[in-house]
Amino acid sequence: MATFVLSLHTPASDTCTLQSLHRFAQAALQQGHHIASIFLYQDGVYHALNDFDIASDEFNPKVIWQRLFDLNIPVHVCVTAASKRGVVANDSSQFIVSGLAEFAMDVAQADRWVQFK
């Protein structure tokens, strides 16, 4: 079976892309594939913010992230993209702060890299 690395490049307001990533991850795992990691890059780093103010009748991206964390998929946040956008790393978060070097190593060891933009 194949090993995948996924990357998300869109902000939390783009709910369709996050839902597509989630559906892809679930389908891949159900077929016996492995998701090595998810990397939040560019505006995707906004997903790591803890202070979303979401109305009860709106889509909540935290629900999707918790489902992915429950699947034990490591989710990395690009430290450079985050700092450029004012996203501060939170030690209590399940998101892992890392750089492009870690991302490149994951991609080099994977069979496929799938971008969600």
pLDDT above 60 (res 45): yes
pLDDT above 60 (res 107): yes
Average pLDDT over residues 17-36: 98
Of 59, 70, 65, 67, the closest CA to residue 44 belongs to: 65
pTM of the predicted protein model: 0.93
pLDDT above 60 (res 55): yes
Give residue 92's pLDDT band: very low, low, confident or very high (50, 70, 90).
low
CATH number given to 3-116: 3.40.1260.10
Give residue 41's pLDDT band: very low, low, confident or very high (50, 70, 90).
very high
Active-site residues, by number, are 78
Delimit the domains of the chain by residue range: 3-116
